[in-house]
Amino acid sequence: MSSHPVNEPILGYAPGSSERAALQAELDRQMSDCPDIPCIINGKKVYTGNIVPQVIPHKHGHIIAGVHQAGKAEIAAACQAAIDAQDAWIDLGLEGRCAIFERCAELLAGDWRMKVNAATMLNQSKTAFQAEIDAACELIDFWNFNCHYAREFHDQYQPLVSPPGVNNSTEIRPLEGFVLAITPFNFSSIAANLPSAPAVLGNTAVWKPSRNSYHSNYVLMELMMEAGLPPGVINFVPSSGPDISDVCLSNPDLAGLHFTGSTAVFQGLWQRIAEALPNLRSYPRIVGETGGKDFVVAHPDCDEQGLLVALLRGSFEYQGQKCSAASRAYVPKSVWGRIGGPLCDEVQKITMGDARDFTNFMTAVIDQRAFDKITGYIERAQASDCCDVVVGGGSDDSVGWFIEPTIIVTSDPNYESMVEEIFGPVLTVFVYEDEDFHGVLKVCDEASPYALTGSIFATQEADIQTAFNALRFTAGNFYINDKPTGAVVAQQPFGGARASGTNDKAGGPLNLLRWMSPRSVKHTLDIPQDWGYSFLEPDE
Ligand code: NAD
């Protein structure tokens, strides 16, 4: 076995710790600054003058950056820069490329850590802990493990057989052309990983960040340049979705799409690529991780306190804005009778406010659109005959986009909030008759089009196995006696199927396989000198 990297240790930010003091100082610095964020095209800063403000979700009157949006001309220039940079990037070789991304990991683990964490706390309203596990630890792991996996392909993905007189080999080529990376707001790690994972293998990229994470994502772009990323390898273009689609998806050199975001946007992009296909030079690789309706199923015989903690953390950490957040639960009547009250009591203790106040467990949701969408679900549940809002339900968008952690209990397992992705701090619980465990597994499997993450809470091995089999295709990441969030690179490679994506498993080796297009090489040493074959010889 070859040695491999280890997961980045998580800093605790306890009162009095040096990391807490450093993070607070950096937060103060960023609060008193308002940088101009340019596009980065071919390694150069491009200021377009078309500036959009970047605000803090928990204090939306405060602008933390002005972002120069790319228009179609800049996006086209970014595509060309990526295409032009590819030969030299390939020539650098795997070790040269890995050295740069491992340097990125080193910088992020060291001097850049607080800058990136503070930017993520302010830009995406994360607590210190949520920023640390995302923007620092997960991204350090992505960079280190991606390099490790890529090296393994180079060493191991070679033909098994070379007969006498022949040398067979496989060249691990990248895709020919550029990869379009379209990234979501909710994880800084995913944002930087989507352009950089293909780049490890020799691809070059156009990176379109989310309008709600320009500030933190730009800090990561600066970090990669500081680590020695050559011009043109990753081009950072804050821009509108329609502009990026129009320009990139019809470019004949589009080689791949690396997307994370909502299901509807991904489906639209896939359709656009299919339409553009006759004009493209190759069949683009399409990798997309999309929405979820992540579940917790409890068996009547389960660890009830563990279930309570999993529901609280799984549903409400980062305001429920993780693609893996628990948002529907199936709990037996007897268990709900014992934990329903205590769970609501604990939820009422959840502290919510400014991300800079370290005593807060939750902060605000990302923007007005999200606030309106989530509160719409809550208001409809409050008005519905089949729902009870048993805790939370309040909201206030005067200073920041704050929504209380909310639990709905419904008598309809197909009610909208049991089925649709809400992407906010809302958990819906369906309470089932204790003897109907098998039936509820079927309901869970069939209720929603998504299949991203899910958990089973049960004590007996046989019950766990029953759920494991019944829910085989209901989740790409399956948890036993744990919350359905918190996948770790190289431990639980991440991704779901059905409407949740192409399940190409970020944080594991399989994702990297999508970014290579191998060349099989047969090198003949004993060159045939006679065109005849033995079967052509006449019978004796
Ligand atoms: P989103 O779909 O609104 O945006 C994602 C990206 O697509 C953004 O950069 C956005 O600007 C861009 N976009 C939007 N319309 C576009 C268009 N017409 N053409 C091109 N680009 C376009 O998603 P979001 O709000 O940023 O993120 C939340 C969503 O992401 C949720 O659905 C969540 O489940 C999902 N998500 C999934 C995973 C996963 O691994 N499965 C991880 C994180 C987030």
Is position 385 within any domain?
yes
- The CATH code of the domain that includes 45 is 3.40.605.10
Among 323, 404, 421, 444, which one carries the catalytic annotation? Answer: 323
Is there a catalytic annotation at residue 416?
Answer: no
Q: Are residues 312 and 254 in the same domain?
A: no
Q: What whole-number distance in Å separates Cα of residue 199 and Cα of residue 229?
A: 10
The pLDDT of residue 2 is: 57
Please name every residue paired with 326 in a beta bridge, in sequence order, or none if there are none.
294
Tell me, yes or no, whether 312 and 277 share the same domain.
no
Q: Are 268 and 352 within one domain?
A: no
Question: What is the arrangement of strands in the sheet containing 406-410, beginning at the earlier edge strand?
Answer: 387-391, 406-410, 426-432, 326-332, 294-298, 453-457, 477-480
Would you say residue 228 lies in a domain? yes
Tokens describing residue 138: 């997960």
Are 54 and 215 contacting, i.e. CB atoms less than 8 angstroms apart? yes
Residue nearest to ligand 1 atom 39, measured at CA? 289
Distance from Cα 323 to the centre of ligand 1, integer Å: 10
Considering the domain architecture, whether residues 381 and 472 belong to the same structural domain is answered as: yes
Predicted local distance difference test score (pLDDT) of residue 1: 45
Give the position, in ligand 1's atom list, of the atom nearest the Cα of 268.
18
Q: Which of 209, 203, 239, 204 is nearest to 221 (CA)?
A: 209
Kindly state whether residues 209 and 247 are assigned to the same domain.
Answer: yes
For 434-450, write each residue's pLDDT tens digit: 999 999 999 999 999 99
Encoded amino acid at 387, one letter: C
CB 213 within 8 A of CB 54: no
Residue 260 Cα to ligand 1 middle (Å): 5
Evaluate whether residue 534 is within a structural domain: no
Residue 25 and residue 120 in one domain: yes
373 and 471 within one domain: yes
Ligand 1 pocket check for 298: Cβ under 6 Å = no
In a domain, residue 513? The reply is yes
Please indicate, yes or no, if residue 114 is contained in any of the structural domains.
Answer: yes
How far apart CA 408 and CA 388 sit, in angstroms, is: 6
Please list the alpha-helical segments (H only) found in 350-430. Answer: 368-383, 416-419
Regarding whether 309 and 279 lie in a shared domain, the answer is no
275 is catalytic: no
Cα distances from 538 to residues 54, 367, 442, 531, 535, in angstroms, run 83, 83, 69, 16, 8
Report how far ligand 1's centroid is from the alpha carbon of 440 (Å).
31
Catalytic residue among 26, 138, 289, 317: 289
C-alpha to C-alpha distance for 473 and 480, rounded to whole angstroms: 15
Asked if residue 452 has its Cβ within 6 Å of ligand 1, the reply is yes
> Within a domain: residue 280?
yes
Is residue 194 domain-resident?
yes
Q: What percent of the chain has pLDDT over 70?
A: 100
Amino acid 153: pLDDT: 84
- The whole domain housing 271 covers 18-290+501-520
DSSP alpha helix (H) spans, 65-138: 72-91, 93-109, 113-124, 128-131
- The stretches in the chain having pLDDT less than 70 are 1-2
> Are 26 and 140 part of one and the same domain?
yes
Write down the pLDDT at residue 156. Answer: 81
88 and 229 together in one domain: yes
| Same domain membership, residue 319 and residue 244 | no
In this prediction, residue 398 carries a pLDDT of: 98
Domain count, the chain: 2
Q: For 28-68, how does the pLDDT look when each residue is reduced to its tens digit (9 = 90+)?
A: 999 999 999 999 999 999 999 999 999 999 999 999 999 99
* pLDDT score for 255: 98
Q: Round to whole Å and give the CA distance between 158 and 156.
A: 6
493 lines ligand 1 (CB under 6 A): no
Q: Which of 366, 343, 361 is nearest to 351 (CA)?
A: 361
Report CA(469)–ligand 1 centroid distance (Å).
31
Residue 203 and residue 347 share a domain: no
Residue 454: give its domain's CATH number: 3.40.309.10
Q: Is residue 489 part of a domain?
A: no
